[in-house]
Amino acid sequence: MKKLFHIFVVLGLAAGICGLLLIFSPKSFNPLPSFQDVQASYQKSDALLLDRHGTVIHELRVDATARRLDWTSLKEISPALLSAVIRSEDKRFSQHRGVDWLAIGSAVLSRFGSGTPRGASTITMQLASLMDDALKPRKVRRSLRQKWNQIRAARSIEGRWTKDEILEAYVNLVSFRGELQGIAAASKGLFDKEPGGLNRAESLVLASLVRSPNASAEAVAKRACRLSTSLAWNTGCDDTRALAQSRFSRAYAVRQRVSIAPHVALKVLRQDGSNMHSTLDGDLQRYATDVLERAVGVLSDQNVRDGAVLVVENRTGDVLAYVGNTGTLSSARYVDGVRARRQAGSTLKPFLYGLAFEKRILTAASLLSDSPLDVPTGRGIYEPKNYDHAFRGMISARTALASSVNIPAVRTVSLVGVEPFVRQLRSLGFRDLDEEQFYGHSLALGSADVSLWDLVNAYRTLARSGASSELRLTLGRKDSEQGGTRILSSGAAFIVSDILSDREARSATFSLENPLATRFWSAVKTGTSKDMRDNWCVGYSNTYTVGVWVGNFSGSSMWNVSGMSGAAPVWFEVMNYLHRAVPSKPPEPPRDVIAQYVTFPEQFGLSGKQEWFIRGTEMEAVKQERRAYNTKILYPSSGTIIALDPDIPEGQQKIFFESTSDTSGMTWMLDGIVLGQGQALSWTPSPGSHRLSLVRNGDHIMDEIAFEVR
């Protein structure tokens, strides 16, 4: 009788409360969405990077406000967890229609009595609050009006949703601990498990967190123990307490399912959590990563810690592999070695010779002197040295480029001009280059800082017969497949590619057998920067361009590691992988190129051979030309600012242009106008910015500077 009386009292109190709430309730509340709408609008805190075939290759958190993983259906959740949550939060869940009036009445009695205050919100009512911010308590507790709106919302949900839909949405939206929202994040973050693998003890701990997500381990363990008793589970309280202590004594973490393209994911995944299809090939990405890590591991005793690999498709510009560093082996695993700028070494030489061929200053058969050279500069004498400190005498431009001989390259930049070379590099896409006077003749040997990203695309321009276009990391854009921007003539690009693929011409320095010699057609160049801080290997087939950098992000020197021993083996393995079933044939010569058999002066011991020439430059016999390799403008130096003297009549003021002594056949030109010839020349200054050039044979710029008169 006493229990029955208690029930009638509870129901009476509930009815009275309902009457009061009806008096004060508003006419309407915010309409709640359907289950399908909630599921469709659910946003994970992580986004997935997919490769070009739709395979997940990286998982990255993009929302820092909370941790939400995939929406999890009921069939994917452990039955033990569902039973524990229902018992803890709403034991009559399957019986009521959104509101548990008995629980509400009991809560009222406990508040006015001496008992501990208890909650009365059902799972459906809690779900309504999770979906509508207006139903969440503004202070410690909800107001009467909020409570009534919560009840009405719960009734509305029950009228349109199934019980399974309500429970599924609830366990996906509720917070379990800290920033962990939803059962997937809680299960993986605390127990490194899928929700379907939770056992009873783990389920008790998670269910006990719902009421107080940030409770202490001891409080959670006590609640879990009471819940276990209520469910009649034989879960030992000591075991549950030990489990809670072990999980809450350390920071929780959600382990990434897959992580093979971190730097690309950071660049292309958006904050809204949308998944993105990249241009990467997952299998190639894994292979390139493994090859790089293995190669750097072998070189670790020679003070090598870092490296990067970039693989692109020539036709489209699609990036197929992007390995920013060596992962756990790296000295700085968050640094992106593909985008980091490092000294280029000899990798810029193909573009220097290509410019000389295009301007018809040199041909591939031209003879260049590999002998000691002193270049006067504004800061003293520049004395370039070869890598092996040897001198070869007169060699052809083909051999000089293929064997990467330094002194002929410096002589070539003297012929081409530093400033035109800098302009060419900028047009090829090398960003953030300094002014030409910063580099001087050392630019021929790669004193500029470049990124692997820019370097690979510049070599891809050679592979595309001199046409350049942007690289791309995401699918959908097709403009890279078009002709692109013409940077270098097709003839010059073809001759450079032919030289870089010439094993015989390369053998003067590298021998015939080396990691650059593939079984299919490929053109390739290595480079090593000063003090062995960086080494590179970049090359292309008719389908792919591959670039590799090896070094240390700290800038410390490697120990006896050149481009041939550091980066080249990685390039070789990746290129062979790409062409394991795909052929690569030499490019067809363009119309502006002609083949001609040439002979060389006997005293140089060079055998005659068939050579490629841009039409109009072909010859049957190469003659030794006396070239003014040291021709240079001595005054004014580039960047000089000259101030006119107001006390001297304008017509009587003079500036004397002075050059090195070897100026036979040279013409002075100012702003495109011929001034005259001679080692020195006077000029009546006029205010403004000017460009002064020394020109040979009317069109070959030997040196060029810019100055200003004020």
- The token pair at 171 is 């366990």
Q: How confident is the model at residue 465 (pLDDT cuts 50, 70, 90)?
A: very high
Out of 1.10.3810.10, 3.40.109.10, 3.30.365.10, 1.10.357.10, select the CATH number for domain 2-248.
1.10.3810.10
Q: What is the pLDDT at residue 692? A: 85
110: tokens are 């406990």
Which residue, among 148, 204, 202, 113, has the nearest Cα to 18 in the 3D structure?
A: 148
Q: At residue 224, does pLDDT exceed 70?
A: yes
CA distances in angstroms from 35 to 10, 131, 672, listed in the order given: 33, 11, 75
Q: Cα 163 to chain center, whole Å?
A: 46
pLDDT above 80 for 100: no
pLDDT at 50 (0 to 100): 94
pTM over 0.75: yes
Lowest mean pLDDT segment, chosen from 225-229, 251-255, 359-363: 251-255
Higher pLDDT, 116 or 564: 564
Q: Is the pLDDT of residue 105 over 70?
A: no
Q: Domain 294-609 classified CATH 3.30.450.20?
A: no
Say if CB 415 and CB 362 are below 8 A apart: yes
The whole-number pLDDT of residue 700 equals: 66
Q: How far apart are CA 87 and CA 94, in angstroms?
A: 11
234 falls in which pLDDT band (50, 70, 90)? confident
Q: pLDDT digit string (tens) for 8-37?
A: 444 455 555 554 444 444 444 567 889 999
- Whether the ω angle into residue 569 lies within 30 degrees of 0, i.e. cis, is no
Return the higher-pLDDT residue of 340 and 530. 340
User: In this model, does residue 697 exceed pLDDT 80?
Assistant: no
Q: How far apart are CA 549 and CA 571, in angstroms?
A: 9
Over residues 433-451, the mean pLDDT reads 85
Whether pLDDT at 307 is above 90: yes
Domains in the chain: boundaries: 2-248, 294-609, 633-709
Show the beta-strand stretches assigned E in 202-343.
Answer: 276-277, 306-313, 319-323, 341-343
Least confident of 53-62, 207-216, 662-671: 662-671
Choose between 118 and 671: higher pLDDT. 671
Mean pLDDT highest for which of 264-273, 517-526, 625-634?
A: 517-526
CATH number of 633-709: 3.40.50.300, 2.30.40.10, 2.60.40.10, 3.30.70.1400?
2.60.40.10
Q: What average pLDDT does this structure show over 268-282? A: 87
Q: Is 134 helix (H, G, I), strand (E, B) or coil?
A: helix
Is a pLDDT exceeding 90 seen at residue 491? yes
- Whether the per-residue pLDDT at 89 is higher than 80: the answer is yes
Higher pLDDT, residue 6 or 584: 584
CA-based torsion, 261, 263, 266, 267: positive or negative:
negative
Q: What is the mean pLDDT of the chain?
A: 85
Predicted confidence band at 139 (pLDDT cuts at 50, 70, 90)? low
Mean local confidence (pLDDT), 89-112: 72
Tell me 334's DSSP state: T
* Helix, strand, or coil (residue 367): strand
Of the chain, the percentage scoring pLDDT greater than 70 comes to 87
Q: Is the pLDDT of residue 482 over 60?
A: no
| Mean pLDDT score, 171-175 | 93
The whole-angstrom separation of Cα 563 and Cα 221 is 60
| Range 653-660 average pLDDT | 80
Q: Which residues of 113-136 are buried (b: 16+ CB within 10 A; e: fewer)?
A: eeeeeeebbbbbbbbbbbbbeebe
- What share of the chain has pLDDT > 90, as a percent? 48
Q: What is the pLDDT of residue 570?
A: 96
453 vs 430: CA distance, rounded Å: 9
Q: How far, in Å, CA of 115 to CA of 137, rounded?
A: 23
Amino acid, res. 187: S
Q: Is a pLDDT exceeding 90 seen at residue 131?
A: no
**For 644, what's the count of Cα atoms within 13 Å in the CB-facing half-sphere?**
16
Q: Is the pLDDT of residue 561 over 70?
A: yes
* 220-234, 598-612, 617-631: segment of lowest average pLDDT: 617-631
Whether 297 shows a pLDDT value over 90: the answer reads yes
Q: What integer pLDDT is reported at residue 605 of this predicted model?
A: 78
pLDDT for the residue numbered 24 = 45
Residue 114 has what pLDDT? Answer: 47
Q: What DSSP state is assigned to residue 166?
A: H
Maximum alpha-carbon separation in the chain: 126
Q: Got the DSSP string for 29-78?
A: -PPPPPHHHHHHH---SEEEEE-TTS-EEEEEE--SS-EE-----GGGS-
CB 158 within 8 A of CB 123: no
Q: Cα separation of 258 and 255, whole Å?
A: 9
Model confidence at 556: pLDDT above 60: yes
Angle subtended at Cα 485 by Cα 479 and Cα 491, rounded to the nearest 5 degrees: 125
Among the listed residues 448, 441, 325, 315, the one whose alpha carbon sits nearest the alpha carbon of residue 376: 441
Q: Which helix (H) or strand (E) holds 539?
A: strand 534-540
Burial class (CB in 10 A: 0-12, 13-18, 19+), 220: buried
Tokens representing 354? 């290509």
pLDDT band for 250, please (50, 70, 90 cuts). Answer: confident
Q: What is the reported pLDDT for 386?
A: 86
pLDDT of 543 above 50? yes
**Over residues 203-214, mean pLDDT:** 91
